[in-house]
Amino acid sequence: MTRVELSQLSKSYVPGQPVLRPIDLTVEAGELFFLLGPSGCGKSTLLRILAGLVTPDSGVIRFNGTDVTGFAPEKRQAAMVFQSYALWPHLSVFENVAFGLRSAGVSPRDIEKEVMEALQLVQLADCRERKIPSLSGGQQQRVALARALAVRPALLLLDEPLSNLDARLRDTMRLEIRRITKERRLTAIYVTHDRREALSMADRIAVLSSGMLQQVGTPEEVYRTPANRFVASFLGDANFVPVKVAAVTGGCVRLESPIGQLTAVVDTPPPVGTVLTAMLRPENLTFASPGENENTFSSTLEAGVFLGDHREWQLRAGDLPLLVNESAPPTRQLGESVRLTIRPDRIALLGDRES
């Protein structure tokens, strides 16, 4: 297993227009680590720098403490799975998977062993003689993964490998990729803009925006306690409420807001008088029961959308629009006045006020 350390890594393709601003990041050995962010944020460039396909302008890359910044791609023991799969259509599945091994001069006997083990791992052993055009998109993705696994890399790099698959197949392949990386005890770095992939698969996530690292943490940490509004919005739907700290008692913070008084539980309470933004996830807002008073406020039901496993309600509390997700909702009338509530430990306080 490989521990990856990046120190002050930066890259610009055009002078004065940085794609990656100086980044410090550590990926622990055996982690399935995600680089998450919108298109153009620098995540694919970072992955290609790790593979040795792009040269950084500055910074150091270390694999298990060894400086590999100047190493050629073939010297890094890193294998990459591309978004387009990059398979040879005129070769069989077996020959595609064997390609890297043949290039490295591995003996025919060992090639047979490694290729078949990789194909069994991705459940394609019975397709070894088939040509690539005869395979489904999901099968082609598995071949590309098997080719990367066959060379037994120290580091597996995946560049949006599921983006060309339909939604149902993506769900299946998420489970398969996580199973395979854990079974092989691989360190894997996975690039995506899909928050569902990151939240459902990752051990830890690094969120990037405009070439800058915004936050690193477990899926639960970045979702529940985002570092700023960008991270909060990119990880999922969120309601933002301007608040001011009115009082602090231990770990409890009393907040004044346009929708009324709220109480939040935080690890590090801010000083009284601090102006912040409270983030309320739609699934954490619920319709208050009669007699429930803590952290409740009035709102008006404006619209609702049925989404199968839940209904998404659009409400308004004063001048603030709000989203609420409700599972198995009862019949509700648009225009009716309702009261909403949220648990104190489900309110996240953000320091930035910009969207």
Q: 274: domain CATH number?
A: 2.40.50.140
pLDDT at 159 over 80: yes
Averaged pLDDT score across all residues of the chain: 93
pLDDT at 354 over 70: no
Hey, CA dihedral for 161, 165, 167, 173, is it positive or negative? negative
Tell me, yes or no, whether 151 and 249 share the same domain: no
How many Å apart are CA 134 and CA 116, to the nearest integer? 19
Average pLDDT over residues 152-169: 88
Distances (CA, A) of 220 to 142, 193, 196, 269, 354: 29, 17, 12, 20, 23
- Write down the pLDDT at residue 46: 96
Indicate the pTM of the whole model: 0.91
Q: Which of helix, strand or coil describes residue 43?
A: helix
Confidence of residue 166 (pLDDT cuts 50, 70, 90): confident
Confidence of residue 199 (pLDDT cuts 50, 70, 90): very high
Confidence of residue 165 (pLDDT cuts 50, 70, 90): confident
Q: Which of helix, strand or coil describes residue 247?
A: strand
How many Å apart are CA 46 and CA 36, to the nearest integer? 11
Q: What is the pLDDT of residues 229-281, one digit of tens each?
A: 999 999 999 999 999 999 999 889 999 999 999 999 999 899 999 999 999 99
Answer yes or no: is 144 within a domain.
yes
Domain endpoint, select from 201, 233, 265: 233
Q: Both tokens of residue 32?
A: 């399935």
Confidence of residue 353 (pLDDT cuts 50, 70, 90): low
Answer yes or no: is 125 within a domain.
yes
Tell me, yes or no, whether 169 and 257 share the same domain: no
User: How is 102-161 classified by DSSP, letter by letter?
Assistant: HHTT--HHHHHHHHHHHHHHTT-GGGTT-BGGGS-HHHHHHHHHHHHHHT--SEEEEEST
Percent of the chain with pLDDT over 90: 79
- Write down the pLDDT at residue 7: 98
Nearest C-alpha neighbor of 230 from the set 37, 17, 35, 24: 37
Tell me, yes or no, whether 112 and 261 share the same domain: no
Tell me, yes or no, whether 70 and 132 share the same domain: yes
Please give the angle made by the CA atoms of 206, 279 and 268, to the nearest 5 degrees: 75
Q: What is the pLDDT of residues 119-137, one digit of tens each?
A: 998 889 999 999 999 998 8
Distances (CA, A) of 233 to 84, 237, 327: 28, 6, 22
Average pLDDT over residues 111-126: 92
Give the DSSP H/E element, type plus range, for residue 81. Answer: strand 78-81
Tell me, yes or no, whether 192 and 62 share the same domain: yes
Task: Collect contacts of 292-295 with beta carbons under 8 A, ≥24 apart.
Answer: 292/339, 292/341, 294/263, 294/341, 294/344, 295/262, 295/263, 295/341, 295/342, 295/343, 295/344, 295/347
Pairing label, strands 187-192, 204-209: unpaired
Tell me, yes or no, whether 244 and 173 share the same domain: no
pLDDT at 38 over 70: yes
Tell me, yes or no, whether 16 and 32 share the same domain: yes
Answer yes or no: is 355 within a domain.
no
Residues 6+ apart with CB under 8 A from 68: 52, 61, 62, 75, 76
Distances (CA, A) of 283 to 236, 278, 280, 355: 10, 15, 9, 20
Look up the domain containing 247 and give its range: 237-350
- Write down the pLDDT at residue 223: 97
Tell me, yes or no, whether 71 and 140 share the same domain: yes
Tell me, yes or no, whether 82 and 115 share the same domain: yes
How many Å apart are CA 276 and CA 347, to the nearest integer? 12
Answer yes or no: is 204 within a domain.
yes
| Total structural domains within the chain | 2
Distances (CA, A) of 332 to 24, 298, 310, 338: 50, 15, 14, 10
Tell me, yes or no, whether 38 and 12 share the same domain: yes
User: Which amino acid does the sequence have at 348?
Assistant: A
- Write down the pLDDT at residue 291: 80
Q: Both tokens of residue 123?
A: 């459940």
Tell me, yes or no, whether 75 and 196 share the same domain: yes
Residues 6+ apart with CB under 8 A from 142: 122, 123, 124, 173, 176
- Write down the pLDDT at residue 280: 97
Domain endpoint, select from 209, 233, 257: 233
Q: What is the pLDDT of residues 285-335, one digit of tens each?
A: 999 988 888 899 999 999 999 998 899 999 999 999 999 999 988 889 999
